[in-house]
Amino acid sequence: MLKELLLKYNRPGPRYTSYPPANFFTEKTSLENFKSVLVKSNSEQPENISLYFHVPFCPQLCHFCGCNTDEMLKMSVVELYFKSMLTEIDNVGALLSKDRKVTQIHWGGGTPNSVAFRFIEEVMVRLRGMFTLAENAEIAMECSPAYISKDYINKLRSVGFNRISLGVQDFNEKVLEIVNRAKPKYPIEEIVADCRDAGFEGVNIDLIYGLPLQTKESYLENIKKAIEIRPDRLVTFSYAHVPWVKSAQKLLEEHGLPSPEEKLEMLLSGYDAIINSGYEAIGMDHFALPNDELAVAKKEKMLHRNFQGYCTKETTGQVYSFGSSGINQLHDAYFQSSKTTSEYIKLIKETGFAIVKGYELSIEEKVIRQLINEIMCNGLLNFEKIAQDFKLSVAEIKRICQFDESKFNEFLDDNLMNIDGNKLTVTESGMMVVRNIAMTFDPNLAENMNMYSKTI
């Protein structure tokens, strides 16, 4: 039954890591504008600061990858890239108030752990000089197990990292081979043990389903192994196949990709296995142990999201990003840096910043952003609460999102949600198609539909 419903709702749609999605950002932006929005962000909510560092380099590129990556060819380029990040930290940091606390630091990529540790250390030292870190700040890095060592793990811990995400993707080396992914340097369970010994408070594992050679059975084997290792968080990404954006993905078609039905079987059986082993579902593909802060925030309806993934309302800050392709997610606007390493380095050298795209949100768009966030994260929408937050009336909020109960008839008939006066609640099965429900609030949806991957 659930399977039929999920197939029915398997349509292209945005992932809503931001609203409006990144494809709406335009080149009609200026550096002066970026600087003035940065200064203005000091007096906007949330007051907290989140920092994102993007390291695009990967020694070997996986054919499935949808991230902004760059094959690591020359050491001199890596050197110049990190030098540019230091300049960027100085210039952005100078415009932000020292009274604001950094509650979250996230390093993503690419593969940040594939560069020499001295680069990471230099950035960490510089940012501690430019920003005020909260005592319990979460400091996380996405790591590939192919380049990690006990020594590297200990060094990360020594400069303050307390959370690590390991991109396992699949435990079967044949699958890794066929997608051109470098194999783990040593067994994942030993890597996790080394992280725990070093004192990491959080260890996450990422898996991906929908790759060539994967079957429901092999995927369940992966889930079983991951559960045995008992990471604090487990993420099971649905492989997003967008060969029109990432041409290397075409290579996977030659090996044959699991059908949507097979992917759905993987999703559903994996979901059950993970829940039955004591994890809480944070989203359709994110799970956490019950005492993890995301699981607690989910229960308290205090979950939030940004480009870096789920976070709690307490730790969420406006996001300031460093490095190529990084997106600043501010209260009033988004600004994105150049996606190419060479242009990023050139722009930082010439102007001290590398912004090439931006988007300023109207009050209406801020309302829609919050509606979509509440639905996606907490499966709950209280129009009265949103009206209070924006100091508007419920009628005005409903006008902004063109609310019309009949738009939800399909979801109501399928028992995916309930509407009670000014409150919308998404049911447990509804959370599996929550992206579709969120899409109903999006007035821009008709545009660019086919460029998105399917919702499952």
- Name the residues that contact ligand SAM, by CB under 6 A: 58, 64-67, 108-111, 142, 144, 167, 169, 206, 208, 237, 239-240
User: Quick check: 258 binds ligand SF4 (CB under 6 A)?
Assistant: no
Cα maximum dimension of the chain? 61
Angstrom distance (rounded) from CA 339 to CA 56: 9
Angstrom distance (rounded) from CA 375 to CA 61: 35
143 — alpha (psi -120 to 50), left (phi > 0) or beta?
beta
Q: How far is CA 264 from CA 31, 167, 273, 453, in A?
A: 45, 22, 14, 15
> What, of ligand SF4, ligand SAM, none, does residue 61 touch, CB below 5 to 8 Å by kind?
ligand SF4
Q: Rounded to the nearest whole angstrom, what is the least distance from the CB of residue 172 to ligand SF4 in the complex?
A: 16
Q: Which is nearer to ligand SF4, 109 or 430 (CB)?
A: 109
Handedness of CA 429, 20, 210, 146 (dihedral sign): negative
DSSP annotation of 431 reads G
- What is the token pair recorded at 24? 């709406």
Q: Which helix (H) or strand (E) holds 156?
A: helix 150-158
Q: What DSSP letter does each residue of 85-109 carry, written as one string?
A: HHHHHHHHHHHS-TTSEEEEEEEEE
Which residue among 29, 41, 50, 69 contacts ligand SF4 (CB under 6 A)? 69
Query: Which span sits near ligand SF4 by CB under 6 A: 24-32, 105-113, 255-263, 388-396?
Result: 105-113
> What, of ligand SF4, ligand SAM, none, does residue 240 touch, CB below 5 to 8 Å by kind?
ligand SAM
Which residue among 67, 95, 251, 394 contacts ligand SF4 (CB under 6 A)? 67
Distance of CA 363 to the CA centre of its chain: 24
User: Quick check: 144 binds ligand SF4 (CB under 6 A)?
Assistant: yes
Which residue among 14, 109, 212, 358 contacts ligand SF4 (CB under 6 A)? 109
Q: Which is nearer to ligand SAM, 247 or 362 (CB)?
A: 247
283 — alpha (psi -120 to 50), left (phi > 0) or beta?
beta
> What, of ligand SF4, ligand SAM, none, does residue 237 touch, CB below 5 to 8 Å by kind?
ligand SAM
User: Quick check: 397 binds ligand SF4 (CB under 6 A)?
Assistant: no
Residues 152-181 that bind ligand SF4 (CB under 6 A): 167, 181
Which residue among 6, 58, 140, 223 contacts ligand SF4 (CB under 6 A)? 58
Q: 439: closest CA among 362, 372, 374, 373? A: 372
Q: Which is nearer to ligand SF4, 65 or 95 (CB)?
A: 65
Q: Rounded to the nearest whole angstrom, what is the least distance from the CB of residue 308 to ligand SF4 in the complex?
A: 14
Angstrom distance (rounded) from CA 183 to CA 168: 9
Query: Which span sits near ligand SF4 by CB under 6 A: 9-17, 59-67, 95-103, 313-321?
Result: 59-67
Q: Footprint of ligand SF4 on this chain (CB under 6 A)?
A: 58, 61-62, 65, 67, 69, 109-111, 144, 167, 181
